[in-house]
A and B are shown apart, each in its own frame.
Chain A
Amino acid sequence: MTPEEQNFMRKIETEEKIEPKDWMPEAYRKNLIRQISQHAHSEVIGTQPEGNWITRAPSLRRKAVLLAKVQDEAGHGLYLYSATETLGISRDEMIAALQDGSAKYASIFNYPAQTWGDVGAIGWLVDGAAIVNQVSLQRTSYGPYARAMIRICKEESFHQRQGYELMLELCRGTPEQKAMAQDSLNRFYWPALMMFGPHDSESAHSARSMQWKIKRESNDDLRQKFIDQTVKQIEFLGLEHPDKAICWNEARGHYDSGEIDWDEFYAVINGNGHCNRQRLQHHIKVHEEGSWVREALAAYNEKQKARKQQAEANKSNQNVA
C-alpha cells in the first residue's frame, strides 16, 4: 500500500469520515458515485408513481400531505446530487447516465401506483424500507453522503407515518376500502423486500462497500430488520400477511420468512418491470420540456452580466471625465 492508501484505510478503520478534498482510491470514488447518484435518481423517479395521485387525492388534507411528500423527495434528490457532485461528476453527466440507462434507480419505482391504497402502501412500506437502509447509511464513511442521510432521515419519518395513517383509515372504513388496503399490501410487500437488494452471497458490490464502510450493514440484515418491524404493523391493521411462511423463530430472535421471487427482481432490474420504459420516457420528456427554463435562466444571467459591465464602464468613463 502507498502511504496515501495507508492513510485512507487508517481513517476508515478509526471511523473517521472521508471528506471531498481527501485522497481516496479511484474505485472508492467510483463506487460512491454509482451508489449516491443511484440513490438520487431513485428519489427523483420515485416522485412519478405518487405524483400521479396528487390531482386525485380524496381530500384537500390528503392532497396537501401528498404534495408535501413529493416535494420532499425532489428535495432529497437535490441533496444527493449535490453530495455526488463533491466527487467530481457533473449534474449533466448524472442525468445523461440515468436517461441512457447506464445508471440505475430503485426498481420499486417501476411498479405502478394503481389505487389510492397504493399511496398508503408506498409511504408505509417503500419509505419504511428506505428508512431502514438510510438510518444505517447515516454512518457511511463519506462525509457529504452521511450528512445528507441525516437530513433526509429527519425529514422522512413523516412519509412513513402518513402512509400508515392512510392505511389505518382504509382498514377502519368500508369492507371495500379494507380490501383495497389488503390488495395494496399484497402488491407492495414483496417488492419492498426486494429494495434491500440480492442476498449477501449474490451481491456484486457488497463486500468491498462493507470493507470501505460505504455500506454499514448487509442487505440481508437490513431486510430482516424490516421484516421484523412490519409484522406487528400488519397485524395492527387487521390485514393478512402476504408471506404465508412468516413465523417467529425464538432461537434466532427474528421472524423466518418465505423466499423472494428473484426472477421477478432481476426481470425488473433488467428493464422488464411494468413501468421501466414509461418512467424514463417521462423523465426525458419533462427534462426536454423544461429546457426553455434553463435557457431563460442562462439568458437572464447574460443580460445581468452585460448590464453590470455597462454600468461599470459608465462609471469609469465618468471618473475619467
Chain B
Amino acid sequence: MTTENLELFEVFIRSKRGLDHKHVGSLHAEDPAQALEYARDCYTRRSEGVSIWVVRSADIVASQEDDAESFYDPSDDKPYRHATYYQLPDPVNNM
C-alpha cells in the first residue's frame, strides 16, 4: 500500500481554551475523521491540546512568499498606522 493516494491534511491545535488554533504540521489520511484521529495520535501524545482542527491541504488558499514584496507593499509606506509614530511629551505619553 502506498500513501500517495491518501489526502494530505493540515493540523491545527488549540493548546488551551481561549488561545487560537496553531498550525503544528500535516499528515496523510483517508478522510477527515481518520485525519482527526491520526492528529490526536501524532500531535497530542503529551496533552498538547484541548481541540484539534484538520483541514484538507488542498482547501487552503495561500499567498505566495515570492510575491511578498508587491503583495504587502501597500502597507510599507504607512508608518502612521503604528502607535509609536506619534511622539507625545513624557507627562502624557502613557496612552
Q: B92 near A233 (CB under 8 angstroms)?
A: yes
Main secondary structure of the interface of B (DSSP, over half): loop
User: Is A164 a contact of B95 with CB atoms below 8 Å?
Assistant: yes
A162: chain B residues within 8 A (beta carbon): 80, 86
Asked if A211 lies at the interface with its beta carbon under 8 angstroms from chain B, I say no
- Asked if B20 is at the interface (CB within 8 A of a chain A CB), the reply is yes
CB atoms of B95 and A65 under 8 A apart: no
Q: Which residues in A have their C-beta under 8 angstroms from that of B61?
A: none
Interface membership of A96, Cβ < 8 A = no
- CB-based contact B86/A158 at 8 Å: yes
A156 → chain B, closest Cβ, in Å?
9
A168-B88 contact given A11-B17, A16-B18, A147-B20, CB 8 Å threshold:
yes
Q: Are A157 and B83 in contact (CB under 8 A)?
A: yes
A232 touches B80 (CB 8 A): no
Q: Taking CB as reference atom, which chain B residue is nearest A159? A: B83
Chain A's nearest CB lies how many Å from the CB of B49? 12
Q: What total of chain A residues lie within 8 Å of the partner, measured CB to CB?
A: 27
Which chain A residues lie closer than 8 Å to B80 at the CB level? 61, 64-65, 68, 158, 162
Q: What is the CB-to-nearest-CB distance from B17 to chain A, in angstroms, rounded to a whole number?
A: 4
Contact between B95 and A165 (Cβ–Cβ < 8 Å)? no
A17 at interface, CB cutoff 8 A? yes
Q: Out of A158, A168, A229, name the residue touching B81 (CB < 8 Å).
A: A158
- Cα A11 to Cα B18 in complex, Å, equals 11
Out of A19, A128, A146, A158, name the residue touching B85 (CB < 8 Å): A158
B17 touches A143 (CB 8 A): yes
Measured CA separation A122–B34 after assembly (Å): 53
Question: Judging by beta carbons under 8 Å apart, are A158 and B91 in contact?
Answer: no
Is B51 an interface residue when CB atoms closer than 8 A count as contact?
yes
Cβ contact of B92, chosen from A68, A72, A232, cutoff 8 A: A232
Question: What is B's interface to A at a CB cutoff of 8 Å?
Answer: 14, 17-18, 20, 51, 78, 80-83, 85-89, 91-92, 95
